[in-house]
Amino acid sequence: MTIRYPNGKPFIATPTSSKQVKNSFSNRGQSLEDDLNETNAFYLAHQQAVVHKKPVPIQIVNVEYPHRSAAVIREAYFRTPSTTDYNGVWQGHYIDFEAKETKNKTSFPLQNIHEHQMSHMAAVQNQGGCAFFIIRFTNLARDYFVPYSAIAPWWAGMKKGERKSIPLSFFETQICISNKYAPRIDYLQALRTFVNRTESEENNI
């Protein structure tokens, strides 16, 4: 049974269908969320970073206490999150990101991103944190690392009535995350590449 937000959208990354699995070379049928959970567990075990997925916020209304058993929540509602799904620390840096999947092959629809995620990431960047997206093109078997600052102009454009999706050609200018056995999605390597690029650009000014 799919669990949904009040607005009807699933709150868990959609599992890949059997058809997608056949077409995918990288994710072996796992959702991006599963891959990231494994990756974060790997980073934690190897003392490379401390990153966790935030639980889904729930408004609890009624709880039962059956005799000698665990408490059972009998009435609760999904609340709208006010942050992104993942955050943590890597070598002293605060990192904060959102993971998105699309089945599209030619562009990424901006409707996958929510207003609260953009405003949270803007605040994080303003405080000197690293805010970014991990975007999976499921049917292309590619995962991209895209800094918040690169998504922001497309988001602003959409709000002014410009295009509602970001073309694949844009992602091809971004960092493609290599898929490995362990860690599954080495986004820290992509982050390191991004940080080094940014620093060398700053030195060239």
- As annotated, the binding site for Mg(2+) includes 83, 85, 98, 117
Position 44 contacts its own copies (CB under 8 A) = yes
* Bridge-based pairing state of the strands 93-102 and 130-137: parallel
- Residue closer to its own copies by CB (options 60, 182) is 60
Which listed residue (42, 86, 90, 133) binds its own copies by CB under 8 A?
Answer: 90
Which listed residue (18, 66, 115, 127) binds its own copies by CB under 8 A?
Answer: 127
Rg (CA), the chain: 18
Q: How many residues bind its own copies (CB under 8 A)?
A: 46
Position 156 contacts its own copies (CB under 8 A) = no
Stretch that binds its own copies, among 27-35, 74-82, 97-105, 182-190 (CB under 8 A): 74-82
β-bridge mates for residue 59, sequence order = 77
Which listed residue (111, 128, 161, 203) binds its own copies by CB under 8 A?
Answer: 128
Position 205 contacts its own copies (CB under 8 A) = no
Which listed residue (36, 113, 118, 124) binds its own copies by CB under 8 A?
Answer: 124
Position 82 contacts its own copies (CB under 8 A) = yes
* Site residues, its own copies (CB under 8 A): 1, 3-6, 44, 47, 49-50, 52, 54-58, 60, 62-63, 65, 70-78, 82-83, 87-94, 96, 120, 123-124, 126-129
